[in-house]
Amino acid sequence: MQPATATATHPAAVNGELQREPLVLGNPTLHDVTETIASIAVRPPTWKYWLTLAITATAAAWGIFAIGYTIATGIGVWGLNNPVAWGWDITNFVWWIGIGHAGTLISAILHLFRQRWRTAINRSAEAMTIFAVICAGLFPLIHLGRPWFAYWLFPYPNQMQMWINFRSPLVWDVFAVSTYLTVSILFWYLGLIPDLATLRNYVKQRIPKALYTFFSLGWVGSVRHWQHYEIAYLILAAISTPLVLSVHSVVSFDFAVSILPGWHTTIFPPYFVAGAIFSGFAMVLTLVLIMRWVLNLENYITLKHIDNMNRILLATGMMVGYAYAMEFFIAMYSGNEYERYAFLNRAFGPYGWAYWAMVFCNVAVPQLFWSARLRRNVLVTFIASILVNIGMWLERFVIIVTSLHRDFLPSSWDYYAPTWVEVSIYIGTLGIFFTLFLLFAKYVPVIAIAETKAILPGAQPEHHVVAEAAASR
């Protein structure tokens, strides 16, 4: 019997045994991996890179102008009204926090479970986490109205003998998000150290070499360095794992601990966590697919990686769809007429268009990935990832605005619509995010070089410490 050959969908069966699909294609050597990834930081930027950077930087500058205008004039320039005190600002805050959620999941949890396919995407996901949390943090500061008093949110001894209200979920946000950002930066930077040392040895220009030398912290790739590195990396992964559940759970408490119909529900913490992973993976897919095409990394970010990520999109999309159904069931079953009206108003009220667009993007679109062929279709995946992010933004908008614009008193009902300032700030945060990511992709290894070498065909992952040490001599 002739051995079966591998297809685009199924691994090969050789001598009656199922062979795993390789995570790195083209049979590269250790030198090839270094050359392919490290050379990105050395090559001069193309005109496409400069054009894209100019567009994103312009958007960022326009958003910064809108933020300055808001601070100078006051948040009265936004479209907020009497019942709708939270609009695009908190919607964008929750959306950006969700975007940053997948980085910790991919890096920490998949590392703890020894999932080797994470190596092609974990670096981009970690960077995306940091940039998204930076964008998210802007919105609560602006929403204060007087951002120069933001330090009042932190508990510290002061001459006024005043303390913050520790029972407020808005204060919990400060602790959760700042902790998440700190741990994410440490985790990202620790993983970068071996690759920064590789770039230190690779580049020839004086200033870049000095910078890479400084940030590589004297790494020489010895067995002792690798042992300490792996212990520290594992400890940080273990510390980061609870953050996956805690951060967005705390964000959901902003709504769940209130008594407002549509918000006061115990399903929010797991619902928000699943939605955050859902939107975070969608944004990782969007970024990775663009990066894969622009930087010619098809051999390192393979269809296997895209297939695995689409499976997670399908699973989390079904969780989110289940949460949507349970929200309606609980509202109808509760016997609370205010709760019933809040959910009927979401689906059939003035913002019904947003609700059904959300259901289409978040529930219907992921069902495409039941098909193995569509899971490995790059164009379908790219379009679906964008639709999912649109749908998750609409979800946050629906939760916040439709629960506020019609409260207990019909006399105070109103319709909320954003002004050009709110739209400009949102566009500006997108510009900041993509500008930071473009700079990261150019000057920092976008794929973990050392970890990729450990998963090459024939490599022994458990002994890659010694192999790397020997290769670095």
Tens digits of per-residue pLDDT, 221-235? 889 999 999 999 999
The closest alpha carbon to 401, from 388, 412, 411, 414, belongs to 414
The answer to whether residue 286 is domain-embedded is yes
pLDDT band at 422 (very low <50, low <70, confident <90, very high): very high
- Are residues 11 and 19 in contact, defined by beta-carbon separation less than 8 angstroms? yes
Q: Does pLDDT of 18 surpass 60?
A: no
For residue 140, give Cα distances in angstroms to 18, 42, 90, 380. Answer: 52, 39, 7, 35
Banded model confidence at residue 19, pLDDT cuts 50, 70, 90: low
Burial grade of 363 (CB within 10 A; 0-12, 13-18, 19 or more): middle
User: Quick count: other Cβ atoms within 10 Å of Cβ 317?
Assistant: 27
What's the whole-number mean pLDDT along residues 334-352? 88
313-338: average pLDDT:
90
Domain annotation covers residue 15: no
Helix (H, G, I), strand (E, B) or coil at 400: helix
Structural domain boundaries, residue 144 = 22-472
Judged against a pLDDT cut of 90, whether residue 355 lies above it is answered with yes
CA gap 282, 278 in Å, rounded: 6
Q: From the CB of residue 61, how many other CB atoms can be counted at a distance below 10 Å?
A: 14
Q: Is the pLDDT of residue 113 over 50?
A: yes
For residue 130, tell me if it sits in a domain: yes
| Opening angle at CA 397, ends 284 and 380, nearest 5 | 35
Q: What is the CATH number of the domain that holds 142?
A: 1.20.1630.10
Q: Are 176 and 247 in contact (CB under 8 A)?
A: yes
Judge whether 320 lies within some domain: yes
Q: 3-state DSSP call for residue 399?
A: helix
Average pLDDT of every residue of the chain: 85
Which tokens belong to 205?
């220009």
Angle CA 459–42–432, to nearest 5: 100
State the pLDDT confidence band at 460, using cuts at 50, 70 and 90: low
Residue with tokens 């700079």: 439
Q: What is the mean pLDDT of residues 6-22?
A: 53
Say what the pLDDT of residue 459 is. Answer: 60
Alpha-carbon distance 373 to 423, whole Å? 38
CA angle, 214 then 216 then 220, to 5°: 120
Tokens linked to 20: 């795993």
**Domain count across the chain:** 1
The per-residue pLDDT for 68 is 93
Question: At 106, which amino acid appears?
Answer: I
Q: Does residue 88 fall inside a structural domain? A: yes
Using an 8 Å Cβ cutoff, are 13 and 5 in contact? Answer: no
pLDDT in tens, 50-109: 898 999 999 999 999 999 999 999 888 998 888 888 889 999 999 998 888 777 777 888
Is residue 8, in this structure, part of any structural domain at all? no
Please give the Cα distance from 95 to 89 (Å, whole number). 10
Residue 3 lies in a domain: no
Is 2 a member of any domain? no
Q: How far apart are the first and last CA of the chain?
A: 46
